Amino acid sequence: MRIAVTGASGNVGTALLRRLSGAGHELVGISRRPPDATAEPYDRVEWHHLDIAADPAPLRAALRGCDAVVHLAWLIQPSRDERELTRVNVGGSRAVVRAALDEGVPHLVHASSVGTYSDHPHDDSPVDESWPVHGGVRSLEYSRSKAAVEAHLDEVEREHDQLAVARVRPALVLQHDAASAIGRYFLGALVPTRLVRRVPLPVLPLPRRLRLQVVHADDVADAFARVVERGARGAFHVADEPVLGGRDIALALRARRLLALDHRLTRAAVAASYRARVHPVPPGWLDLGLSVPVMDTARARTELGWEPRHRSGDVLRELLEGLAQHGSSPSPVLRPRGAGGSRVGV
């Protein structure tokens, strides 16, 4: 198959290139900035460097003759410029859909997220893909835009049956080689990441209701590849097991004591430190973490034959080791901590 991947040099994109090239597919990579095309897995890809939300002609040319397009491109930063985030995330997604329709690409696979959801069952029981999307978490552009793109895809499915549409909704996607990028997205330059897991924390303050699903980038890449290879439609949850709680996070960080905080106190502290530019994470990310449901992954297992190869605790520890080691990849998006450039995408 000839498969185009937007955001191909990012966290999930790099893992997906590994998976698809290993299966012998012909790959078209779309990114704003070129990776090192002599290094694996970027060396087996036909590259197109463009802004998906700008001139549509180069995007149409990149998708011409493709059997499928996997849309991964998404900006996380600059979080303080919501207009630019929405331009790329919502406008760019619409542009990819339009280009796929114009070029007759038969299959579109969109990288959605658990962040599409805005609420969860009161008993925290896992939900399947039919759980309603109500516009996302209103305090976070990322969540609002994920929900807006899914609403657009609903319209596309009703009006253009010739385009098979799938949405993969992964948990938080982690891997060692994305650690530097994730550190820039969520920790900023002031956190001494080389000390992560090296120096035990005397106490770790976390919101009382926090529970976390994660997935290794290679596991989510395998799910995307199975969706493409089967021509699957619809939504699929993808997450490793088990669900992590505060004690699991404290154990991974080697914290001596877990301090469970009221979520209102935690949010106030995050909001104040964000306003002071101590870190790049707006408080909406905390709202998302405390409001989204636990995802049931039965559909991916049953219909795709997908099974995660990683345990969530191991995935978290791999990321933390990557933070300490400045884990990176020869891509501008996954560059080592401290390297040049300020605009961040996934």
Q: Quote the pLDDT of residue 222.
A: 98
Q: Quote the pLDDT of residue 340.
A: 45
Q: Quote the pLDDT of residue 337.
A: 66
To which CATH superfamily is domain 2-325 assigned?
Answer: NAD(P)-binding Rossmann-like Domain (3.40.50.720)
> For residues 108 and 314, what is the distance between their CA atoms, to the nearest angstrom?
32
Q: Which residues of the chain have pLDDT under 70?
A: 190, 337-346
Q: Quote the pLDDT of residue 336.
A: 84
Amino acid identity of 105? V
Chain centre to alpha carbon of residue 76: 9
Strands 107-111 and 2-6: unpaired
Alpha-helix residue ranges (DSSP H) falling in 29-163: 56-63, 82-86, 92-102, 141-159
**DSSP classification of residue 229:** H
Q: Quote the pLDDT of residue 190.
A: 66
DSSP output for 255-282: -S-EEEE-HHHHHHHHHHHHHTTSSS--
* Interval 87-142: pLDDT, tens: 999 999 999 999 999 999 999 999 999 999 988 887 789 999 999 998 999 999 99
Q: Quote the pLDDT of residue 345.
A: 35
Q: Packing angle between helix 11-22 and helix 217-230, nearest 10 degrees? A: 50
Q: Quote the pLDDT of residue 343.
A: 40
Task: Give this prediction's pTM.
Answer: 0.93
CA distances from 81 to 87, 142, 186, 282, 342 (A): 10, 12, 16, 12, 13
* Interval 49-102: pLDDT, tens: 999 999 999 999 999 999 999 999 999 999 999 999 999 999 999 999 999 999
**DSSP classification of residue 90:** I
- The Cβ of residue 110 has, within 10 Å, a number of other Cβ atoms equal to 24
